[in-house]
Amino acid sequence: MVTKICVVGLGYIGLPTAAMFAKTGFEVVGVDVNENAVNLLNQGKIHIEEVGLGDLVKKVVHEDKLRATTSPEQADVFIIAVPTPNYPDHTANLEYVKSATESILPYLRKDNLVIVESTIPPRTIDDFVVPIIQAEGWNVGEEIFVTHCPERVLPGRILIELVENTRIVGGINNISAQKAANVYKSFVTGEIILTSAVTAEMSKLMENTYRDVNIALANELAKISDKLGINALEVIQLANRHPRVNLHQPGPGVGGHCLAVDPYFIIEKAPEESPLIINARRINNSMPEFVIEHVNKIVDSNAKIAVFGLTYKGNIDDVRESPAMDVVSLLQEKNYNLSIYDPHVKQDQVGFKLSTFEEAIDQADCILVLTDHNEFKRLDEVKIHSKMRSPVVFDTKNCVKINSEAIKYYNYGNLYEMNRELEALV
């Protein structure tokens, strides 16, 4: 019978997962090398931003269902939820997964279940995780049970989707998958589907690769429309009226630990067989330069640019792989005067000074919107008009509503107007 769960990695997935199991009634110990995160958690506080998570953690810590430490303990179930970043050549860095697996070895006991939730390249369970456990003398699949159960949640809705989403459970064998499914059934109301570990690995990667390729198509459309003088956003809106078409939205690029990273895990294993995935990555990676190209059209080199948003998506605090960060770096290289505002990002997350809304727009020549936070969808137009030197908004997320005709507004639907206006000035 499962009574105690040890979660290794208390980041954007591990901490909500630990809290959800604690809410269900399990004794949960969370493990992380970040001592600040551990100390905060033991005070009932959190070090990341996620809707509802702060209240849940406070509750389960107060009830002594969840606590944190810097090293694993004996448990019935071990859940590994550590990062899997890319090396500079885009191959997967599995050191965190290997280290986490090795860290639980002294605490494994017969009939324990090991679940890897980290997103990993195909065959990582078979080729890396299982051999590490077997090297300790365990018969994996009979004495120690191993599964891959990838997370499938959307930041901002994690606590909801952990419960409601379909869950894919990939076992090293059927009994491993069944044991893991029984654990998740304690709170998951969505369908739980059993499969092999390698199929689960690939299914998670393809979910995010599908979205990356779709966004690349939208971004390529934005570039084509810019050249041909077409409203790309209207094209997408009309095309999506077809019952079997679902084009995504263009933007400044693709970020986060999923879409911007996972396709490379497939490319790494089969580069010759994945030209479409490779080209989609190239298109999405080119978008920060596309943004800069149009910023250069809007302002001159002495301009002040108010950058709005650093996270890779709206209403979260996650700047991992964010294209907004790439845009900022490119603007800095061109020596623009920048004032950067993001109400969801803390100063210690970035290596440059953050500003308030008023500081950012003061004497600015352009507001460059790179993230679709709710705070940006309705801006104070009176302040923009009175404080900015040139009231211009370039909205790369197509999310801002501007009513004043005194504020010039560009998004991916009217870039052709920018080009026509510039041509008229020549």
Distance separating alpha carbons of residues 311 and 147, to the nearest angstrom: 32
96 neighbors 106 (Cβ within 8 angstroms): no
370 neighbors 255 (Cβ within 8 angstroms): no
pLDDT for residue 267: 96
Domains of the chain plus CATH, in order, are 4-204 (3.40.50.720), 287-425 (3.40.50.720)
Distance separating alpha carbons of residues 175 and 113, to the nearest angstrom: 10
171 neighbors 145 (Cβ within 8 angstroms): yes
pLDDT for residue 425: 54
In the numeric block, the tokens 């507004």 are attached to: 409
Give residues with Cβ within 8 angstroms of 130, minimum separation 6: 140, 146, 172
366 catalytic residue (yes or no): no
149 catalytic residue (yes or no): no
pLDDT truncated to tens, each residue of the chain (426 aa)? 789 999 999 999 999 999 999 999 999 999 999 999 999 999 999 998 899 999 999 999 999 999 999 999 999 999 999 999 989 999 999 999 999 999 999 999 999 999 999 999 999 999 999 999 999 999 999 999 999 999 889 888 999 999 999 999 999 999 999 999 999 999 999 999 999 999 999 999 999 999 999 999 999 999 999 999 999 999 999 999 999 999 999 999 999 888 899 999 999 999 999 999 999 999 999 999 999 999 999 998 889 999 999 999 999 999 989 999 999 999 999 999 999 999 999 998 998 999 999 999 999 999 999 999 999 999 999 999 999 998 999 999 999 999 988 899 999 999 888 777 766 654
304 neighbors 341 (Cβ within 8 angstroms): no
Catalytic, out of 6, 258, 366, 399:
258
Q: Phi/psi of residue 218, each to 5°?
A: -65, -40
Catalytic, out of 179, 204, 313, 387:
204
pLDDT for residue 426: 47
pLDDT for residue 256: 85
* CA distance between the termini of the chain: 77
In the numeric block, the tokens 């709206």 are attached to: 314
User: CA angle, 117 as apex, 199 and 206 as ends, to 5°?
Assistant: 40
